[in-house]
Amino acid sequence: MDENHAYLEIESDAWEKEVLHSDLPVVVDFYSDECPPCEALAPKYASLADQWHRDVKFVKVFRQKNRALAESLGVRGSPTVLFFHGGQERGARLTGGIRRADLVHQFESFVGPERAQEIRDGVRPIHSSCDVLILGAGPAGLTAGMYTAQAKLKTVIVDGALAGGNVAITHQVANYPGFSKPVPGWQLADHMASHAKGAGAVLREAVDVTSFDPEAKAVVIDGYETIQARYVILATGNSPRPLGIPGEKTLKGKGVSYCATCDGKYFEGKEIVVIGGGNSALEESLFLATFVKKLTLVHRRDAFRADPGIQEKVVKVPVIEPLMSHQPAAFRRLEDGRMQVDLIGVGTGAPRSLVTDGIFVFAGMVTNPPPGTERLARDESGAVIGDEEMRTNLPGIFVAGDVRAKRYRQITTAVSDGTAAAMAVTKAHYG
Ligand code: NAP
């Protein structure tokens, strides 16, 4: 047993005894070092072990040292969490940005709803405080955190996903100063997160934000942990704008995707339709074209909005077939499992349908102010208004990045906002 927490660290030779022959249900975390999602999971796993260890055995296996075991189980990435009961693997495996709730969901199926409720009721709320609470760990939040931590302000950055925001799921970033060759988005995000952490900011990633109270400057995460601050920087960014057409919502994640990096690999050798005409649609089409045999790029106008340099690259890729002046009207799943995109010709009104294997939508972004911030002044699009010092209309609450009302949204402008917000907070604190 770990000396501070109620989990067991094992090697391959203890697998049978501790996992397959355990009387209790078992959860196993295969982890690695130099693995940010593993670091994000570790404190959640330790605290869950302390709360559930009477009913579930918590095991950790260092994957790099136990490769043969991992491979024999088909574990190919870290972290991978597996569940066992009665010597058999149960439930779905968890990977990537694993949330506390994902684990608890499986534990409930082991112990039943009544016992699960009893354990939940026994969890004692935790309160902590810091100088600066940053909501959102994208480029704006990470930059702000790096600056405030360097200024010796106790800084906590909270995010519902892993650090990096939209950059982490961008295939290549072509216009970040200092990287003259395109840099993979995940790598740039990783550099930024490491920099903020190295400066002393504490990252709380892949947590559920239960509530946020801007008056108290307090956030509740995972239902039981309150973090209260003197200053808050809202850096919650933006997310893909849905088209709002029939079939889109029900088929999301079942053939309709908003993330090429996440889902492109499922369309190797297949046909897809991409919707949109901006930088994202064209950049992500270049990436998707490396997998698919045919990509129809549907845009509602007769000219793309994307930068000319990106357009020049797209026209040179044979598998990409632009279809201009068509507006998507509905998505459907056909009986044979394929997808159908219904289109209307712009100007002609003529209906047309495309049958395809998958649909990717890149129709711009909508801002994500967190719940509880209705009293913040917003613009007509819902973005939060901040002044030159990134101050909002509420005292002690600052805003930075894509969630802020502004004209240009780039990684560089998010970094700029994060810098300004952090400097304003530092000035407010030290005078
Ligand atoms: P965007 O520039 O707003 O483009 C959205 C595209 O979706 C537009 O072509 C738009 O058509 C289309 N669209 C919107 N609503 C639609 C609807 N209901 N039906 C059909 N089509 C619809 O968004 P983005 O490409 O996601 O880019 C967002 C921001 O990030 C931009 O500032 C962009 O420059 C930046 N970005 C930069 C890079 C880069 O510099 N390499 C890469 C990615 C993103 P219309 O053209 O007719 O409006």
Beta carbon of 243 within 6 Å of any ligand 1 atom: yes
Beta carbon of 139 within 6 Å of any ligand 1 atom: no
Beta carbon of 297 within 6 Å of any ligand 1 atom: no
Backbone angles phi, psi at 255, to 5 degrees: 125, -20
Ligand 1 atom with least separation from CA of 244 = 18
Backbone angles phi, psi at 46, to 5 degrees: -65, -45
Beta carbon of 363 within 6 Å of any ligand 1 atom: yes
**What domains are defined for the chain?**
7-121 (3.40.30.10), 126-239+365-430 (3.50.50.60), 256-361 (3.50.50.60)
Ligand 1 atom with least separation from CA of 299 = 21
Q: How far apart are CA 253 and CA 29, in angstroms?
A: 26
Q: How far apart are CA 381 and CA 133, in angstroms?
A: 25
Beta carbon of 303 within 6 Å of any ligand 1 atom: no
Beta carbon of 409 within 6 Å of any ligand 1 atom: yes
How do the pLDDT tens digits run along the chain, 431 residues long?
Answer: 667 779 999 999 999 999 999 999 999 999 999 888 999 999 999 999 999 999 999 999 999 999 999 999 999 899 999 999 999 999 999 999 999 999 999 999 999 999 999 999 999 999 999 999 999 999 999 999 999 999 999 999 999 999 999 999 888 888 899 999 989 999 999 999 999 999 999 999 999 999 999 999 999 999 999 999 999 999 999 999 999 999 999 999 889 999 998 889 889 999 999 999 999 999 999 999 999 999 999 999 999 999 999 999 999 999 999 999 999 999 999 999 999 999 999 999 999 999 999 999 999 999 988 888 889 999 999 999 999 999 999 999 999 999 999 999 999 999 999 999 999 999 999 98
Beta carbon of 185 within 6 Å of any ligand 1 atom: no
Residue with the nearest Cα to atom 28 of ligand 1? 364
β-bridge pairing 57-62 and 26-31: parallel
| pLDDT at res. 51 | 93
Among 279, 307, 344, 415, the mutation site with the greatest number of ligand 1 atoms within 8 A of its Cβ is 279
Write the CA distances from 244 to 145, 240, 275, 363, 421, integer angstroms: 35, 12, 13, 11, 34
Check if the beta carbon of residue 219 is closer than 8 Å to that of residue 321: no
Ligand 1 atom with least separation from CA of 243 = 18
Residue 315 CA, distance from chain mean position = 31
Beta carbon of 223 within 6 Å of any ligand 1 atom: no
Beta carbon of 283 within 6 Å of any ligand 1 atom: yes
Among 288, 305, 362, the mutation site with the greatest number of ligand 1 atoms within 8 A of its Cβ is 305
Residue with the nearest Cα to atom 33 of ligand 1? 279
Could you tell me the pTM of the whole model?
Answer: 0.86
| pLDDT at res. 369 | 87
Residue matched to tokens 């136990």: 66
Ligand 1 centre to CA of 269 (Å) is 26
Nearest to 81 by CA among 51, 113, 49, 50: 49
Ligand 1 centre to CA of 429 (Å) is 39
Residue with the nearest Cα to atom 23 of ligand 1? 364
Q: How far apart are CA 67 and CA 71, in angstroms?
A: 6
